[in-house]
Chains A and B, each alone.
Chain A
Amino acid sequence: MLDAILLTLKLATLTTIILLIIGIPLAWWLARSRGLFKDMIATLVSMPLVLPPTVLGFYLLITLGPDSPLGNVLSSLFGGPLTFTFSGLVIGSVIFSLPFMVQPLRNTFESIGNRPLEVAATLRASPLDTFFSVVLPLSRNGLLTGSIMSFVHTLGEFGVVLMIGGNIPGETKVLSIAIYDYVESLEWAQAHLIAGSMLCFSFIVILSMTLLERNSRKAGGL
């Protein structure tokens, strides 16, 4: 049980960090550019919202497996196939939670508008400097929302893990799989314990986010 809790937190934390690294530049680019190519990428990013997790699980199983060229490259890099490993789950979670990070960030970036950037430019700030000292501080809310959503969404991931996880304690047996296992083997006391905790946790997280947004709106933030 403790194994599963720690593993799930580790997966969600790592996924969120990687998503911040990928999501910030991607969301910025989506917010600042125009054209069909941008629209296509934006569509791709949003796909995990509507696709069944099993679709992603199926493709990951094929792509990361030993029969695909990419799977073989990754295999030699990581010293073995990525299916049924923690790294494989991280890859799956990053793809699966991508829209939850990118959407809020993109909305925030778009709402900043050109004016602060122009002001910074007249003060001779370099674009990079502008981004870190003007844009990111102004986007605090988007960053927070994106991070929390990605984190919580990864906690609840099930379909992908069921297909590429292999139910290995300490490696791929996350909380959602543990609940599934307990229910299947009629150990309902444990199932109730985890399910109830997750229910309360999600409630608290979403409520805090709502309160946070209201406070920041009062404070005049974006």
Chain B
Amino acid sequence: MKALVITLLLSAISSSVLAANVRIAVASNFTAAAQALSAAFTQRTKHDVQISSGSTGKLYIQIRHGAPFDLLLAADMERPHKLYTEGYTNTPPFTYATGQLVLWSRDLSGVVDGMDILNSDTVKRLAIANAKTAPYGKAAQEVLDNLKTTHSSWKLIRGDNIAQTYQFAASGNVNAAFVARAQIVLDKRGFTWQVPQSLYSPIQQGAILLKHGINNPAANAFYRFLSSDEAKSVIQRYGYITR
């Protein structure tokens, strides 16, 4: 019995030394890309990656309250920067990806321009993410403000984060939604309008290595991996611009 316990303990210790876990908090828009990245990373290093996704604002609050994340891949620069000034990380954030906002509709077709969608009567409900907590929601709100669209023809539905916003449109519950390009890269249905960059401030997405992960070799490795060419090509494949 004793021998068994010791063996178990030893095996637990050795496996944790060989392959560490890294816990990553990921903004909803980047979830699919992060999964692809972690698959590539695990193949290369044998480290396991655990992904928790949510709106950037929510993840920020969770980290402030001691959530055990090693890294944060946010959807803006503002919150990672806040965490830096508040002392939750030793390194200022770097831009790992620049996101693009699209207007996507599952069922509308034969539309030429997104402006037509916003001004047409076929759209009864338009979904955007919560502008307070989701950077893509904030960008979508900027677009609506800049276009000065009248809210008379349709109702605005708010998703808790950009993933829920996309789900509203994918399930057909809303006619159209402002989502991240990354989310519809793999979805060939419907109609996509690439929103002109002039209508919203650039969505620069910042990454930080949190203090929680500083002594975790796997976390450090993933942080470095993010800027590698291999990672960049994956990130680009998901519809982001990288430097």
Contact A168 B155 (CB under 8 A): yes
B105 to chain A: closest CB distance in Å? 13
Instruction: Decide yes or no whether A61 CB sits under 8 A from chain B.
Output: yes
The reply to whether A181 and B130 contact each other, CB–CB distance below 8 Å, is yes
Does B133 make an interface contact (CB < 8 A)?
Answer: yes
Q: Shortest CB–CB separation between residue B160 and chain A, in angstroms?
A: 6
Closest partner residue, chain B, to A169 (CB atom): B158
Pick out which of these stretches binds chain B: A22-30, A76-84, A100-108.
A76-84
A168 touching B156 in the complex, CB below 8 Å, given contacts A181-B132, A184-B58, A184-B133? yes
B74 to chain A, nearest CB (A): 15
Interface segment out of the listed B13-21, B32-40, B165-173, B196-204:
B165-173
Whole-angstrom distance between the Cβ of B120 and the nearest chain A Cβ: 16
| B173 near A65: Cβ-Cβ < 8 Å | yes
A-side contacts of B130, CB under 8 Å: 167, 181, 184
- Cβ–Cβ contact B171 & A185, under 8 A: no
Tell me the smallest distance from the CB of B197 to a CB of chain A, in Å. Answer: 27
Contact B132 A184 (CB under 8 A): yes
CB distance from B80 to the nearest CB of A (A): 16
Question: How far apart are the CA atoms of A84 and B160 in the complex, in Å?
Answer: 13
Indicate if B157 sits at the interface (CB-CB under 8 A).
Answer: yes
Nearest-CB residue, chain A, relative to B57: A184
Residues on the B chain within 8 Å of A184, using CB: 55, 57-58, 61, 130, 132-133
Contacts of B158 in A (CB 8 A): 166-168
Q: Which chain B positions have C-beta within 8 A of A181?
A: 130, 132
Minimum C-beta distance from A17 to chain B (A): 26
Given contacts A84-B125, A185-B132, are A61 and B156 in contact (CB under 8 A)? no
Closest Cβ of chain A to B50, distance in Å, is 21
Given contacts A80-B124, A84-B125, A166-B157, A185 and B173 within 8 Å (CB-CB): no
- Closest Cβ of chain A to B72, distance in Å, is 16
Residues of B100-146 contacting chain A, CB below 8 A: 124-125, 127, 130, 132-133
Q: How many A-B residue pairs have CB under 8 A?
A: 49
Closest A-chain residue to B167, C-beta based? Answer: A61
A166 to B156, CA, bound (A): 9
Expressed in whole angstroms, the Cα–Cα distance for A84 and B171 within the complex equals: 13
- Whether B213 sits at the interface, judged by CB under 8 Å, is no
Please give the distance in Å from A157's CB to the nearest CB on chain B: 16
Cα A184 to Cα B133 with chains together (Å): 7
Judge if A138 is at the interface, Cβ distance under 8 Å.
Answer: no
Q: How far is the CB of B55 from chain A (nearest CB, A)?
A: 7
Beta-carbon contact of A65 and B57 below 8 Å:
no
Report if A162 contacts B (CB, 8 A).
Answer: yes
Closest to B55 in A: A184
Which residue from chain A places its CB closest to the CB of B165 in the assembled complex?
A166
The docked-state distance in angstroms from the alpha carbon of A162 to that of B158 is 10
Task: A61 to B168: give the CA distance in the assembly, Å.
Answer: 9
Contact assessment for A67 and B172 in the assembled complex, using a CB-CB cutoff below 8 Å:
yes
A162-B160, A166-B159, A167-B158 known; A183+B171 contact, CB < 8 A: no
Give the most central of B57, B155, B173: most A CB within 10 Å. B173
Partner of B157, one of A65, A84, A183: A84
Select the residue from B124, B127, B132 with max chain A CB neighbours within 10 A: B132
| Residues of A that sit less than 8 Å from B by CB | 61-62, 65-67, 80-81, 83-84, 162, 166-168, 181, 183-186
What are the 7 tightest A-B residue pairs by CB atom distance, in nearest-first order? A166-B157, A167-B158, A185-B132, A66-B172, A83-B173, A184-B133, A65-B173
**Given A65-B172, A184-B58, 14 other A-B residues pairs in contact with their CB atoms under 8 A:** A65-B173, A66-B173, A81-B125, A83-B173, A84-B155, A162-B160, A166-B157, A166-B168, A167-B130, A167-B160, A181-B130, A184-B57, A184-B130, A185-B132
